[in-house]
Amino acid sequence: MRVLMLSTPFPTHFTPMVPLAWALQGAGHEVTVAAQPDVTDAARAAGISAVDIGDRFHGLDVLLRHLPPGKRPLELMGPTPPEKMAGSAKLWETHARYLLGAYLEFARDWRPDLIVSEQMELAGQIVAGVLGVPSVQHRWGVDPLSGPSRTSARHFLHGAATRLGLAGLPDPDLLLDPCPPALRHPSATPGAPIGYVPFNGAGSAPAWLRVPPADGVRRVAVCLGRQTLVLNGTGLFRSIIAAFEGLADVAAVVTAAPEFHAGFGDVPGNVRVVEPVPLNLILRDCHAVVHHGGANTTMTACAFGLPQVVLPQLVDQFASAGHLEQAGAARVLAEAAPQNDPARVREAVRDVLDDPRYLRGAGELRRDMAAMPSPARVVADLERLAAG
């Protein structure tokens, strides 16, 4: 079986599909990722065949040109309300129409038996419909986006689909959902479960990880992704780092690209600032995670059963944070003012470490995720879908 994977041009949109690609390859199937270089770089690093379609996207440039110096999006616009969720996905409607011809040209030559797209990639369903093969959509995690945006996508892509002989934008034949039941968004169409396998990019475990925290000291990982820093997030990192001052029984590990380290200034003795490390490699000995609510970070922290402090910055991150809080696994600071206040961040970190309710909530999510069918088991479903 030949499986074509498509993704919008952010590596973090693609990485939730990597374990399924590995499982397909392990079962003897041929997998190729067709995408812009932003994604194909990540695919090749994960050992998956890829073909470049179009130029590099540089997606953060769209946001950066609207940001005043020193202001991050949350400080400028506030949290994304539910009624604006659909509008935030319109970029991907335009993206699908723009690349549809190139995807279709490649797919006609490569002749896949199945097309798998991540949740915001819309061209794959049209390509599959034209070729007469099944299409699968794979969610990232908590999904407040694809449901509200579907009506707009149907209207926007209707002409492109009908010109290719279809009745309109087809629905996927199968929707795969790695999200545990407690975190599923009410607007999300029910899907078939697929177990989440933590993968946050290629990398190696650093040497310092081999030294466990001292007795009685709890390690907290701080990971807000490169996107947060690029979008004027250095001040937020300074607030978080300052929050660990005086927490004698806590050791923080802050991951950030080296070009931003100087902007953090002096750091407390119990804080280690390191270059980016795939999160799944460092959580084994951690007791909590501070993060921005990104889908991969959220799901990885849940898979490890860790309490979380969530500081959402953009779009779907607010809904993800809210569901974590409702599940009893996280403290959330959703506004810019408390995020920028080291005392408020310190209080949230101390709360999730000291109150056993957060560990219990996180443990329940971990158990629910572990009970979901692994990607290897899902491969059999995909084989039947393609054969049928």
Same domain, 66 and 164: yes
For the range 266-269, what are the long-range contacts, defined as Cβ-Cβ under 8 Å and sequence gap of 24 or more?
267/241, 268/241, 268/242, 268/244
DSSP-derived secondary structure letter, 256: -
What confidence tens digit (pLDDT) does each residue in 62-106 have?
778 888 988 999 998 889 887 777 777 888 999 999 999 999 999
Instruction: Answer yes or no: is 168 within a domain.
Output: yes
Same domain, 60 and 145: yes
| Statement: residue 205 has pLDDT above 90 | no
For the residues 221-237, what does the mean pLDDT come to? 93
Instruction: Answer yes or no: is 93 within a domain.
Output: yes
Same domain, 232 and 363: yes
Same domain, 241 and 115: no
Same domain, 17 and 59: yes
Question: What CA–CA distance (Å, rounded) separates 5 from 116?
Answer: 5
For the residues 259-267, what does the mean pLDDT come to? 95
Same domain, 261 and 328: yes
DSSP-derived secondary structure letter, 212: P
Same domain, 235 and 347: yes
CA nearest neighbour of 121 among 5, 19, 294: 5
CA 183 to chain centroid: 14
Domain span including residue 54: 2-195+373-387
| Statement: residue 160 has pLDDT above 80 | yes
pTM of the model: 0.95
Instruction: Answer yes or no: is 188 within a domain.
Output: yes
For 387, the 3-state DSSP assignment is: helix
Model pLDDT, residue 61 = 83
Q: How far is CA 180 from CA 362, 363, 376, in A?
A: 11, 12, 18
**Do 194 and 177 contact (CB within 8 A), yes or no?**
yes
Model pLDDT, residue 349 = 98
Range with the lowest mean pLDDT among 11-15, 69-73, 183-187? Answer: 69-73
Same domain, 181 and 213: no
Instruction: Answer yes or no: is 69 within a domain.
Output: yes
Instruction: Answer yes or no: is 202 within a domain.
Output: no
Range with the lowest mean pLDDT among 12-21, 208-217, 344-353? Answer: 208-217
Model pLDDT, residue 83 = 77
Same domain, 250 and 345: yes
Same domain, 344 and 378: no
Residues 6+ apart with CB under 8 A from 68: 76
Sole residue written with tokens 């084994």: 284
Instruction: Answer yes or no: is 201 within a domain.
Output: no
Instruction: Answer yes or no: is 200 within a domain.
Output: no
Model pLDDT, residue 89 = 82
Model pLDDT, residue 212 = 85
Same domain, 170 and 222: no
Query: What share of the chain has pLDDT > 90, as a percent?
Result: 86
Q: How many domains does the chain have?
A: 2
Model pLDDT, residue 183 = 97
Same domain, 223 and 359: yes
Model pLDDT, residue 85 = 76
